[in-house]
Structure 1
């Protein structure tokens, strides 16, 4: 999802973050509680429309040629699309900037990510089969580092590099959201990254099962390849279902294992950006890790929602060991429902705040990076799946 200022190999000062769009206000425009309330009503209505479309489109398309594609399209697609459409209408009417205070992308995203932690049980990593854990760690490392290197080679901004690398190596849109909060990326960068995730994920639903069948891969290897390469969970599920029941089981395990590493990567990104990027006030970076000034700077920059994400995951893990399934499932379902709504509001707001001129600045380079990294992911993921799952038996 991106506007980026090309990285010149050196450090750049972090931009000042503002809850309102960075574009100048319209002449004579003022922000008032009434306009803010009206903007919030629009955001809520659009989120409601997203919920309707998410359920309605697959039902209407069921049994048709596009039925599987419609089933795999996730709510971020509808949310961003409706946000874009509303953006265009409100901009033409000269009203969008007046309502800017209601488009609280950062707030909605952080709430959604904390609740996302409650649905990621870290005990899964411990209980998962060894091959799934090894594949997740190796694949995330290789794909992340390649994407980071290649994007840097093409001169992309470090924050956009972080979003692209996280989305490609971990779990698509959710990873991009976490990375955006950790590195304070622009909303346009997040919107661009999420768009690329969806564009590349949908064809993979049919391409990977077809290639696996063409190569005669065993079910476990097929599932591991699908789970490790397709970025969105819904697309992984759809592709696994196309490949068969056994590939679907392994694909789900591998994907959940990758998802569980989301918080770890967010923390590492925070550490990297806190000590590589110069402070906004122009002061020198901390001389060494661990002194008082460096620790204070790290805490100031550290996105507190990451702690919430990790804490929610730990609590969910503990509850999973102490409560029965009948007691636990309703609580997790409620957290998941609120999380989806919070992220839906965030993606709608991203569309409403989107600045087309910023995307034009990014040009073709992020697309080339995404395509090249996807190819690396496919090749390395296939190799790891064959080595780690070739002897797996159900």
Structure 2
């Protein structure tokens, strides 16, 4: 796994790629310890998954190193292995969508996962921007992560808008605050006397990440709930690709329009300045003629040539989430080349999911390494706003998804 990543880093000539093996060993060992802690029988009862441990340990390593070296900059040999976007992209590509498994429940799963998700995503992002005064990009990332698929959606949306550095805090908040949902929702479902399929669809639609969904369904303790929750979450995961592409296109257009508007304002300001200079020159000339004194010539403002802008389609391609292509290719290959034998397909799918979860854990370690506690203290107000937005979004998601799951798996 590390060798293949090193080859990829060398092929793209990433900065300090020759030091990647050293840094990757460190990141991998943190991920390994995180998985060991998450699988501990005693600790597992608290529903603290490997993602939480990975963020905590990654953050701990980062801040200890900063304290020892008296520098907030991560060491180059470790920075090159902090490839959050690469790890999560590989994790998403390996989420093989098995059409034969999805087909029986697809219509109802679509109803639960696709009806409310895009609408609430837009509404809550607008709420965060307009009401809570969170910057637009961070509000979009937090909303997408809450309603779609946690860290995967956050990183995909951050990349599509060209702001991957704004994903770290939303992901950390979501990873921590998901724990109460994992523990509470199964017991709430039983108290409400919801059927196993309705409960599974509910978990799949409103719990953030795939691993957390399976954990919640496992606490509920019914095989049908586990299967239904996994299928609904898979259907919801499919939304990551289209929404990322749409966001890349929309944000690229927004940035281009903003750039053109800024240039027009600058040109207008310069033209007004030129007119003022001409008028002043005329007054000086008149005064010079009257007093027979030479007038002072004011140089005319010379416009610097504007930097040529990228075409919209070029900017879109740069922002386009490339994992979507890999995701589609993997799904096509899995459904066309793997035999129809159920056992074989299950083994291949389970193996891909196992490797996918490893890369996901590596991404959480990288996220933890990006969290500088001193920066968090300085931005405590922004942290409070993000937590508020997440709580509002999660409560809305829980209520709406419960209604949709009950409707879909009771009447459809």
Answer whether TM exceeds 0.5 for this pair. Answer: yes
Find the counterpart in structure 2 of residue 155 from structure 1.
Answer: 133
Contact 1:118 1:312 in 2 (8 A): yes
- How many Å separate the matches in 1 of 2:75 and 2:213? 37
Corresponding residue of 2:232: 254
Which of these residues, 272, 280, 294, is aligned with residue 250 of structure 2?
Answer: 272
- Which one of the candidate residues 182, 191, 197 is aligned to 2:160? 182
Q: 1:161 to 1:215 in 2, by over 3 A?
A: same
Structure having the larger proportion of residues in helix = 2
Q: In the superposition, relative to structure 1, how do residues 108 and 326 fare at CA in structure 2: closer, same or farther (>3 Å)?
A: farther
Alignment of 1:1-394 (within 5 A): 37=19, 41-61=22-42, 67-69=44-46, 72-94=47-69, 97=73, 99-100=75-76, 102-104=78-80, 107-121=83-97, 123=99, 126-153=103-130, 154-187=132-165, 189-245=166-222, 246-278=224-256, 282-283=259-260, 293-320=311-338, 322=339, 324=341, 332=349, 335-356=352-373, 358-359=375-376, 360-361=378-379, 362-391=382-411
Give the deviation of 1:316 after TM superposition. Answer: 2.7
Residues 186 and 298 (structure 1), Cα distance of their counterparts in 2 relative to 1, 3 Å cut: closer
On the 8 A contact 1:43/1:345 being kept in 2, the answer is no
The 3 A distance-change label for structure 1 pair 274 and 315 is: farther
CA distance in 2, matches of 1:223, 1:329: 20
Secondary structure of residue in 1 paired with 2:194: coil
Question: Structure 1 residues 306, 51: closer, same or farther in 2, change over 3 A?
Answer: same
In 2, are the aligned partners of 1:110 and 1:305 still within 8 Å (CA)? no
Q: How much has 1:221 moved relative to structure 2? A: 1.9
Change (3 A) 1:163 1:125: farther
Moved more, 264-273 or 342-351: 342-351
Q: Distance in 2 between matches of 1:43 and 1:106?
A: 8
Normalized against structure 2, the TM-score is what? 0.73
Residue pair 1:112, 1:340 contacting (<8 A) in 2 also: no
Distance 1:174 1:33 in 2: 26
CA 1:279–1:345 in structure 2 vs 1: closer, same or farther (change >3 Å)? farther
Deviations 1:79-135 (A, max 9, x none): 221111111111112266362364247745225413422323163555533111111
TM-score norm. by structure 1 comes to 0.76
- Offset, 1:374: 0.8
Deviations 1:314-356 (A, max 9, x none): 3333334x46456555655554454444443333233323334
Aligned length: 345
The 3-state SS of whatever aligns with 1:93 is: helix
**Does the residue aligned with 1:303 lie in a helix, a strand or coil?**
coil
Q: Is the 8 A contact 1:159 1:184 kept in 2?
A: no
Q: Which runs of 5+ in 1 are unaligned?
A: 1-18, 20-31, 286-291
Structure 2 runs not aligned, ≥5 long: 1-8, 10-14, 263-309
Contact 2:57 2:368 in 1 (8 A): yes
Q: Which has the larger radius of gyration?
A: 2
How far does residue 191 in structure 1 lie from its aligned partner after superposition?
Answer: 2.1
Q: 1:229 touches 1:381 (CA, 8 Å); kept in 2?
A: yes
| Superposition deviation, residue 309 in structure 1 | 3.0
